[in-house]
Structure 1
Amino acid sequence: MRATDDPFDEPPWAMQLVVRAEKAAPPAHGAVCAAAATAVVRLLTDPRATDPEGEWHARVHRWESGRIRKVTRRARGVRWPEVQALPGVTVDRDGAQVRAFVPGPVADVPPELARLQVAGLDLADDEEPKPPPEPPYAVIALNPEVPMTTGKAAAQSGHAAQLLLMQAAGADVAAWVEGGALVHIARDLPWRRCVEHAAVAVRDAGFTEVPPGTMTAIAWIVTGRD
């Protein structure tokens, strides 16, 4: 299954993602992408978002009705605890901390988020790939032919996880979410072969870094039943 962001959604809304990036101990690129993807899914499956009476439901529904735009920012020092007071979900994975926030209009971002830098988050990865968690988990592979900063890759990972939540087989998704929506960022896979078997693929709208229609990420769920 494939999905393309709708470039005609106006006024634009976005889900803000904030990465904790301390100068002394920056997180790894892949860990940030995995944490971002899990944070997106945990926010979208939170009862405050899924229950029609939930306090987040109306905003999440409005955002999902258009394109699923995401904006990645970075925080360090006192800026990180400041944003914890805003509605959202924080995930800590392999030393990376990422918080996903309830979506809102791009033109009306809370000041605690607006003061955080958007561009320029580009982190190194671990020398050795991290092993996958115990199933069920989602595999996300980023297109090795498309250079992306960590901020861009984190947003694309969030897109891929969200598309899995929306489009993959119901029983597999339920097991994945119930198990914590864990994500493994795969490296050194045969990209073109994997594309043919992936459950979802992300095609970017082209607002930043890559041309419109670029396939940036693919994803599928590993159940452990094979």
Structure 2
Amino acid sequence: MLTLVVRVEKNARPAQTDALETAARAVLAILADERSFGEGEWAEAMTSWQDDRIRKIVKRSRGAEWRRAEALPGITVHGRGVGAEEPEAAAAQVRVFPPTPIDVVPAEIANLQVSGTDFVDARELPPVEAGVPVLWVNPELEMSSGKAMAQCGHAAQLAWWALSDEARKEWEAADFALAVRTATSAQWTQLLRSGLPVVQDAGFTEIEPGSRTVIADHPQLRR
């Protein structure tokens, strides 16, 4: 299980889209980290996890809980404030941790809450920049923000696996730039026919097994 923890302070909740994008970038960050392959300290855990179901869970923390989580090995990724009323003041923060079996998750994160991650966008989203990968969310599904964050992480991971080594290096050099948007019904139908990576959820929580949740539209995968 790969655990992501989103920081949710009492008076500083991240915007929905910023949280989704930051979670996806956090997954990419740990996939690309030198500790995750070769002789790296996380390599065995990462390989075992990727060879199995790439399950992810998103939890929330604040204050002392966040500080304790940050003290554990992992990577903190900062958002860009997309959708936030005050982007710089309320940018999302997500920390991703090396995967562990469910029964050995460190207490500092095992005891954190899953609920309470329902975020909203306070302002209109900007247009997606040309050439930026887009993770398209299924418009017909209702998911909590935490569930959607995990699904966007899955989609980013599927795109990463499908890319060439050169394309991966380019994405990493761009700080894993990406956008998350909800597709229209017409867009979703077209995307399903495109052959792009699509997340099909196992249905452990919130939605029906087999539900297709997010499609990863990376320009390099359309060539």
Shift of 1:197: 2.4
Structure 1, residues 46-95: CA drift from partner, whole Å, max 9, x if none?
00112x21101011011111000001000111111211111111111121
Q: How many residues of Structure 1 are paired with residues of Structure 2 in the alignment?
A: 210
**Deviation sequence 1:14-53 (CA, Å, 0-9, x none):** 0000001112121011110100000000111100112x21
* Corresponding residue to 1:87 among 49, 73, 76: 73
Q: Which runs of structure 2 are paired with 1:118-157 in the superposition (5 Å)?
A: 118-133=114-129, 135=131, 137-157=132-152
Q: What is the aligned partner in structure 2 of residue 219 from structure 1? A: 216
Answer 1 or 2: which has greater helix percent: 2
C-alpha spacing 1:133/1:85, structure 2 compared with 1 (3 Å)? farther
Give the deviation of 1:142 after TM superposition. Answer: 0.9
- Distance in 2 separating the partners of 1:83 and 1:134: 36
What is residue 87 of structure 2 aligned with on the other side?
A: none
Matches within 5 A, 1:1-226: 14-50=1-37, 52-93=38-79, 94=81, 95-133=91-129, 135=131, 137-189=132-184, 190-197=187-194, 199-222=196-219
Q: Distance in 2 between matches of 1:188 and 1:203?
A: 16
Richer in strand (by share): 1
| Structure 2 counterpart of 1:186, one-letter code | R
Moved more, 115-124 or 64-73: 115-124
- Please tell me the residue identity of whatever aligns with 1:91: V
Structure 1 match to 2:85: none
Structure 2 runs not aligned, ≥5 long: 82-90
**CA distance in 1 between partners of 2:75 and 2:160 (Å):** 17
Match of 1:3 in 2: none
Provide the secondary structure at the position in 2 that maps to 1:31.
helix
After TM superposition, the score normalised by the length of structure 1 is 0.87
Tell me the C-alpha RMSD between the 2 structures.
1.9
Q: Give 1:104 shift.
A: 0.3
- What is aligned with 1:8? none
TM-score by length of 2: 0.88
State how far apart, in whole Å, the 2-side matches of 1:198 and 1:161 are: 15
1:157-192 CA-partner distances (Å, limit 9, x unpaired): 000000111123554333212211122012354221
CA spacing shift, 1:127–1:188, aligned 2, 3 Å: farther
CA distance in 2, matches of 1:15, 1:107: 13
Shift of 1:198: 5.5
